[in-house]
Amino acid sequence: MRALALLIGNAAYSKRKKLFNAANDATDFSNALSKIGFVVKPVIDAGIDEMDAEVASFRAELDNYDIGLFFYAGHGFQHNGENFLTATDTLFTAESIIRGSLNLRVVLDAMEDAKNAMNIIILDCCREDLAILGKKRSLSTEAMAPIFAPKGTIIAYSTSPGQTADDGLKTDRNGVYTRALLAHVVNQGISIEDFFKNVRNSVSLFTNEEQITWEHTSLTAPFILNSGSYIQASSSKYATFAVADAQYDGGGDSKLTSIIEDLKSHNFYDQGPAVRRFKQMTGASLDSDLLFIIGRNILQAAVGGEFESIKFIENLESRVLPFQKKNGNPVLEGIVFEMYFDQNGLFREDRKGLIYLSYVDAIKADKRFAKSFDFIRDELMPFKPKLFFIPTADETGKSIDVFLEKMEYKLSWREDDERIEIVYIVKSISFEGQIIMKDGEKDQSRFIHREDLTFSRFKLKVAELLGIPPKSLVVHTNIHLTDEDPVQFQWGVKLRKL
């Protein structure tokens, strides 16, 4: 089962005081949904043109999913029985406010028109009292108008009709409603009705019973929001047991099955002979799903340090070519897929085996593998906002800007010994104008733990952390260094797009 979510959080209004937490609400709920298996698209501080475009894109993609979810945090209002979600560039005047806002009916119609089985709409904008904009998110004493959910839809509001809802304090990260959503979405196996009941109880407790959440539903079948059964990979090319290979329990060609079992053994004495047996096989008639699983497990074994698997990937072109098919190369596709997706078909926040990405990158322009790299591109595009590099033929080189601080240390306490050691500390890293690392930012201890590297080793390390082949990464520094110059880089740091 696959689930897609569009989340909009508008806080930085050009014509109204900024909301404290709406942007954080969309960001944090997006991260929470991603962790339970949703493919997410967070949109922060969007103008009306961007909101319209994102809803249209959401509609176009929704046909490929089973579940759709729309979340909005920001100012909302109703007029003549219609609900409107405001954009950051909405002009809050009687003449233009409706024209410059997103009609909720447009979202409902888009989701109802799609082919997916079920839709969820969550609105954190049931507000009144415009006079206290720092704390409330609505623009009308009438609040949001009641709306009926189409079949197979549940609509959740942060308040009951006519109530106000708390945006939280300036010192809070989230509004009260989203804080409750985040607290309960992690609980697996709960029906969606019970999920929202639990949220309602928490919000009531947080607000001393001043805010009561509300839902309208036309669901016709049981549904569990956090079921543990979502698959984020979009492939229709391979069977579910291959995409989420934790579900594979044997079966099929006995020779291939035996190889898979040995590769999954985590035992070098079984894995090495399995790879050697596999290298003796050829033929386009071999089962694609099993070849795909073998590719995945060869990468797993290589990451674990098994020699034959490492040599297989180091000679990637010649090793995968015997398994070429008309619609692509399942072994190659399995190897690359495993770098980005886990055994449940969920996107890896911490990618695996990227040290071997250079061998993949070396053959991406080979036209014989064009269909395989098309497959890889299609699988990774939904996650492009999280990736620094996608290994496809049209992907260009990347660059980062590294700010270094020169430090000089005396090698001896003796006054007559003037020897010094020079070390360059990585203070920040920027990618496409965005700071993705600051020295000490994630280290909560008294002292910052740094790793001693040469500049050449630092470049290799940061390339792996970014998921960019070293040959495709240019590192710009504010101080000119040679490859042997000493560099200190914060230990355990993870590089993430915001």
- Give the CA distances from residue 138 to residues 99, 132, 176, in Å, rounded to whole numbers and listed in that order: 17, 9, 15
Amino acid 141: pLDDT: 41
Backbone dihedral angles phi then psi of residue 145, each to the nearest 5 degrees: -80, 145
Amino acid 26: pLDDT: 97
Going by pLDDT thresholds of 50, 70 and 90, the confidence category of residue 134 is very low
How many C-beta atoms lie closer than 10 Å to residue 58's C-beta?
Answer: 21
Going by pLDDT thresholds of 50, 70 and 90, the confidence category of residue 355 is very high
Q: Which of 338, 67, 40, 42 is nearest to 227 (CA)?
A: 67
- Give the CA distances from residue 121 to residues 70, 362, 401, 402, in Å, rounded to whole numbers and listed in that order: 5, 44, 41, 42
Q: Which helix (DSSP H) or strand (DSSP E) does residue 486 occupy?
A: strand 486-490
- H-type alpha helices, 36-86: 48-62
Lowest mean pLDDT among 15-24, 45-54, 61-70: 15-24
Report the DSSP beta bridge partners of residue 475.
400
Average pLDDT over residues 471-497: 94
Pairing between strand 486-490 and 420-431? Answer: parallel
Tokens of 201: 């109880």
Lowest mean pLDDT among 69-83, 257-271, 358-372, 441-455: 441-455
For residue 96, pLDDT over 70 is answered with yes
For residue 169, pLDDT over 90 is answered with no
Amino acid 442: pLDDT: 57
For residue 17, pLDDT over 80 is answered with no
pLDDT, tens digit, 9 for 90 and up, residues 447-464: 688 999 999 999 999 999
Amino acid 255: pLDDT: 93
Bigger pLDDT: 138 or 18?
18
Going by pLDDT thresholds of 50, 70 and 90, the confidence category of residue 128 is very low
Amino acid 166: pLDDT: 59
Q: What angle do CA 401, 403, 408 make, to 5 degrees?
A: 150
Average pLDDT, the chain: 89
Q: How far apart are CA 226 and CA 213, in angstroms?
A: 20
Residue 341 DSSP label? B
Helix (H, G, I), strand (E, B) or coil at 303: helix
For residue 140, pLDDT over 70 is answered with no
Q: How far apart are CA 173 and CA 176, in angstroms?
A: 10
For residue 469, pLDDT over 90 is answered with yes
How many C-beta atoms lie closer than 10 Å to residue 173's C-beta?
Answer: 15
| Contacting residues for 99 by C-beta, under 8 A, at least 6 apart | none
| Contacting residues for 413 by C-beta, under 8 A, at least 6 apart | none
Report whether 306 contacts 271 (CB < 8 A).
yes
Amino acid 132: pLDDT: 36
Amino acid 371: pLDDT: 96
Tokens of 210: 């001043």
Amino acid 129: pLDDT: 36
Amino acid 289: pLDDT: 96
pTM of the model as a whole: 0.79
For residue 135, pLDDT over 50 is answered with no
Amino acid 133: pLDDT: 37
Q: Which of 196, 156, 150, 169 is nearest to 73 (CA)?
A: 156
Amino acid 146: pLDDT: 63
pLDDT, tens digit, 9 for 90 and up, residues 298-343: 999 999 999 999 999 999 999 999 999 999 999 999 999 999 999 9
Going by pLDDT thresholds of 50, 70 and 90, the confidence category of residue 161 is low
Report whether 393 contacts 370 (CB < 8 A).
yes
Q: Kindly give the interhelix angle for 288-303 and 268-279, rounded to the nearest 10 degrees.
A: 140
Average pLDDT over residues 231-254: 89
Going by pLDDT thresholds of 50, 70 and 90, the confidence category of residue 220 is confident
Q: Which of 490, 494, 497, 495 is nearest to 440 (CA)?
A: 490
Burial, 46: exposed, middle or buried (Cβ in 10 Å; 0-12, 13-18, 19+)? buried
**Among residues of the chain, what percentage have pLDDT more than 90?**
70
Helix (H, G, I), strand (E, B) or coil at 485: coil
- The residue whose two tokens read 């009438």 is 142
| Contacting residues for 69 by C-beta, under 8 A, at least 6 apart | 3, 4, 5, 6, 33, 38, 119, 120, 121, 122
For residue 103, pLDDT over 90 is answered with yes
